[in-house]
Structure 1
Amino acid sequence: MPEQPVGSPESRVESDGVVPAERGPEALPPAEWHHARPRVVVRRDLMPAVSVLSTVALVGLPVGWLWSRLAPPQQVRVVQGERLAPLPLESYHRFDDLAVFLLLTLAVGLVTGGAVWLLRQRRGPVVMLAAALGSLVAAWLALRTGLSFAEGLYPLGDLHRVGALLWDPPRLESGWVVLAQPLAALLAYGACAAWNGHDDLGRRLG
Structure 2
Amino acid sequence: MSRTHAVLWVVVGLAAAGALCGAVWAWLAPPIHGVVALTRSNERVKAYLGNEADHFFTAAALLVGLLAVLVVVAAVAVWQWRRHRGPVMMAALCLGSVAASAAAVGVGAALVRWRYGHIDVATVPVSEQNRVHYVTEAPAVFFGHTPLQVALTLLFPAAVAAIVYVLAAVSTSRDDLGGWPPVEPAAPVTGRTVTEVDAPPVAPSSPSP
* TM-score w.r.t. length of structure 2: 0.72
SS in 2 for 1:79: strand
Aligned to 1:133: 95
Residue 31 (structure 2) pairs with residue 73 (structure 1): yes
Aligned to 1:145: 107
In structure 1, the gaps of 5 or more residues are 1-43
In structure 2, the gaps of 5 or more residues are 183-209
Aligned to 1:191: 167
Deviations 1:25-56 (A, max 9, x none): xxxxxxxxxxxxxxxxxxx5233212211111
State the shift of 1:119 in Å.
Answer: 0.5
State the shift of 1:185 in Å.
Answer: 1.0
Higher-Rg structure is: 1
Aligned counterparts of 2:87 and 2:56: Cα–Cα separation in 1: 37
Deviations 1:131-164 (A, max 9, x none): 1101101101111110111112223577223411
Q: What aligned pairs does 1:1-206 form with structure 2 within 5 A after superposition? A: 45-80=3-38, 84-155=46-117, 159-161=124-126, 162-171=131-140, 172=142, 173=144, 174-175=149-150, 176-205=152-181
Verify the 8 A CA contact 1:60 1:139 in the aligned structure 2.
Answer: yes
Paired AA for residue 168 in structure 1: E
SS in 2 for 1:77: strand
Verify the 8 A CA contact 1:75 1:166 in the aligned structure 2.
Answer: yes
Point out the structure with the larger helix share.
Answer: 1
State the shift of 1:82 in Å.
Answer: 5.5
Verify the 8 A CA contact 1:74 1:93 in the aligned structure 2.
Answer: yes
Aligned counterparts of 2:93 and 2:170: Cα–Cα separation in 1: 17
Verify the 8 A CA contact 1:193 1:201 in the aligned structure 2.
Answer: yes
Aligned counterparts of 2:92 and 2:118: Cα–Cα separation in 1: 40
State the shift of 1:190 in Å.
Answer: 0.9
Paired AA for residue 162 in structure 2: L
Paired AA for residue 176 in structure 2: D
The CA RMSD over aligned residues, in Å, is 1.9
Aligned counterparts of 2:76 and 2:54: Cα–Cα separation in 1: 34
Identical-pair percentage: 27
Deviations 1:56-76 (A, max 9, x none): 111111111111111111101
SS in 2 for 1:90: coil
State the shift of 1:166 in Å.
Answer: 1.2
* TM-score w.r.t. length of structure 1: 0.73
Aligned counterparts of 1:126 and 1:45: Cα–Cα separation in 2: 8
Count of equivalent residues: 163
